[in-house]
């Protein structure tokens, strides 16, 4: 092991002992990550749904450089008038339904979920929170309380109380939403379960039940926003609009940024009896991240990336389906999972993928599937190359 890798082990808190992933990153560009030896890896994870317009998109770099020349941090969130934040909030409002017209910018997906939960409790003055089995909403104490998997949360108990977990896509369970429920939190497409989309009837029934009980509906689009599924936001695949929308990951154009978005009338309650502490965040909406986010939106819209998502997903499907190592390819747009016929080989296959220059991984709650979540900018030629490498990795002996 070289010196940097051993210092990585020695000085940085580790998240996993799985070794093949320890690529020593030299640079990243487009769909590629390069290591110290110059080997390229096609990023079929987009840094977990972050690099939707590829690594270091030139327009994002320009926007970042321009903002670097003006100012970095000047004040905690929401105190000074900073144009990158305002322009981004205005742009998001113009792209979202009229009831999602006010953004609160934060630093991470987990923080967006925390903010949304606090907003829902304060607005409704209720305590119960409902989430769904096999959802992942983040690692902070509130978000963690929404996890169904006891093994992930038992070491951290007691967690936020009054949380109920229901089965996803099960309409009959929705009668448990009542006038005690502050909010229901759900992903539109469950990522950690191996890309499982909500069914349309379920979404309609969920919205109806929330309306009947005065419960706020929160969508976690932390992985699915900014074009990933073939719509700018995944909820646009359904006839349903949430009361609060949480976005993160790709929204920062590879810079840290997240938001919870609601109507001005709901958001108003954070500015109540204790101004500032409805939710406070020092770096939320960092101007450089907001500038990067605006440039990312411009690239997605100007280059019509969303319009090409289905076609690109279709090429992946055509090239890979029918392969004996693949049982099923599912997902929406370029948010896909490949289910393996021999899931017990998945660790070896991920390792083979790294050897063949492909970055992919299994999912948090599903160790039978590999992720295919490439930058939306991937070209047909690059998709062909990705599939060639992937097939080699699937066919590699032992």
Using CB under 6 A as the criterion, which residues of the chain lie in contact with ligand PLP when the complex forms? Answer: 48, 108-110, 113, 136-138, 187, 191, 220, 222-223, 248
Query: Long-range contacts: 328-331, Cβ < 8 Å, 24+?
Result: 329/372, 330/194, 330/195, 330/196, 331/189, 331/195, 331/197, 331/372
CB nearer to ligand PLP: give 85 or 110: 110
CB nearer to ligand PLP: give 47 or 97: 47
Query: Rounded to whole angstroms, how far apart are CA atoms 13 and 31?
Result: 28
Q: Which residue is nearest to ligand PLP (CB)?
A: 109
CB nearer to ligand PLP: give 13 or 37: 13
Smallest distance, Å, CB 398 to ligand PLP?
32
Question: Which CA distances in Å does 17 have to 4, 36, 138?
Answer: 17, 21, 21
CB nearer to ligand PLP: give 116 or 297: 116
Smallest distance, Å, CB 187 to ligand PLP?
5
Of 208, 200, 201, the closest CA to residue 184 belongs to 208
Smallest distance, Å, CB 113 to ligand PLP?
6
Smallest distance, Å, CB 304 to ligand PLP?
26
Quickly count: other Cβ atoms within 10 Å of residue 179's Cβ. 11
Smallest distance, Å, CB 222 to ligand PLP?
4
Smallest distance, Å, CB 268 to ligand PLP?
25
CB nearer to ligand PLP: give 219 or 308: 219
Determine the angle formed by the axes of helices 309-320 and 380-395, rounding to 10 degrees: 30
Smallest distance, Å, CB 396 to ligand PLP?
29
CB nearer to ligand PLP: give 221 or 382: 221
List alpha helices for the chain, DSSP H: 3-11, 46-49, 58-68, 83-95, 109-124, 141-145, 150-153, 200-213, 264-267, 287-302, 309-320, 346-355, 380-395
Query: Rounded to whole angstroms, how far apart are CA atoms 133 and 110?
Result: 18
Distance of CA 88 to the CA centre of its chain: 19
CB nearer to ligand PLP: give 245 or 269: 245
Query: Rounded to whole angstroms, how far apart are CA atoms 331 and 170?
Result: 19
Q: Is there a contact between 213 and 181 (Cβ–Cβ < 8 Å)? A: yes
Say how many CA atoms lie within 13 Å of 143 toward its Cβ.
19
Smallest distance, Å, CB 323 to ligand PLP?
27
As to burial, measured by CB atoms within 10 angstroms (0-12 exposed, 13-18 middle, 19+ buried), residue 348 is middle
CB nearer to ligand PLP: give 32 or 136: 136
Say how many CA atoms lie within 13 Å of 380 toward its Cβ.
6
CB nearer to ligand PLP: give 190 or 215: 190
Of 46, 20, 15, the closest CA to residue 33 belongs to 46
Smallest distance, Å, CB 179 to ligand PLP?
27
């Amino acid at each position: 092991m070289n010196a940097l890798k051993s210092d990585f082990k020695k000085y940085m808190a580790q998240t996993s002992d799985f070794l093949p992933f320890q690529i020593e990153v030299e640079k990243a560009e487009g769909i590629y990550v390069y290591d110290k030896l110059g080997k390229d890896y096609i990023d079929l994870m987009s840094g977990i749904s972050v690099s939707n317009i590829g690594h270091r998109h030139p327009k994002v770099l320009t926007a970042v450089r321009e903002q670097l020349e003006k100012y970095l941090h000047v004040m905690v969130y929401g105190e000074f008038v900073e144009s990158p934040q305002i322009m981004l909030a205005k742009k998001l409002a113009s792209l979202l339904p009229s009831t999602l017209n006010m953004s609160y910018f934060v630093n991470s997906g987990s923080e967006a979920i925390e903010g949304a939960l606090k907003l829902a409790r304060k607005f409704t003055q209720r305590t119960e929170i409902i989430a769904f089995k096999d959802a992942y909403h983040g690692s902070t104490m509130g978000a963690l309380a929404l996890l169904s998997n006891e093994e992930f949360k038992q070491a951290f108990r007691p967690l936020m109380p009054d949380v109920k977990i229901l089965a996803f896509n099960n309409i009959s369970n929705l009668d448990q939403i009542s006038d005690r429920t502050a909010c229901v939190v759900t992903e539109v497409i469950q990522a950690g379960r191996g890309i499982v989309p909500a069914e349309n009837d379920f979404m309609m029934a969920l919205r109806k039940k929330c309306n009947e009980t005065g419960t706020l509906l929160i969508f976690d689009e932390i992985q699915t926003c900014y074009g990933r599924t073939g719509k700018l936001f995944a909820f646009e695949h359904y006839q349903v609009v949430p009361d609060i929308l949480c976005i993160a990951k790709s929204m920062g154009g590879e810079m840290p940024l997240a938001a919870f978005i609601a109507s001005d009338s709901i958001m108003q309650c954070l500015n109540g009896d204790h101004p500032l502490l409805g939710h406070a965040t020092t770096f939320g909406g960092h101007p450089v991240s907001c500038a990067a986010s605006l440039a990312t939106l411009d690239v997605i819209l100007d280059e019509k990336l969303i319009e090409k998502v289905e076609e690109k997903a279709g090429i992946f499907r055509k090239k890979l389906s029918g392969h004996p190592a693949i049982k099923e390819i599912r997902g929406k747009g370029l948010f896909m999972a490949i289910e393996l016929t021999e899931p017990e080989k998945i660790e070896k296959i991920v390792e083979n993928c790294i050897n063949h220059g492909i970055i992919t991984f299994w999912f948090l709650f599903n160790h039978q599937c590999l992720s295919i979540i490439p930058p939306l900018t991937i070209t047909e030629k690059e998709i062909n190359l990705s599939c060639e490498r992937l097939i080699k990795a699937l066919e590699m002996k032992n």
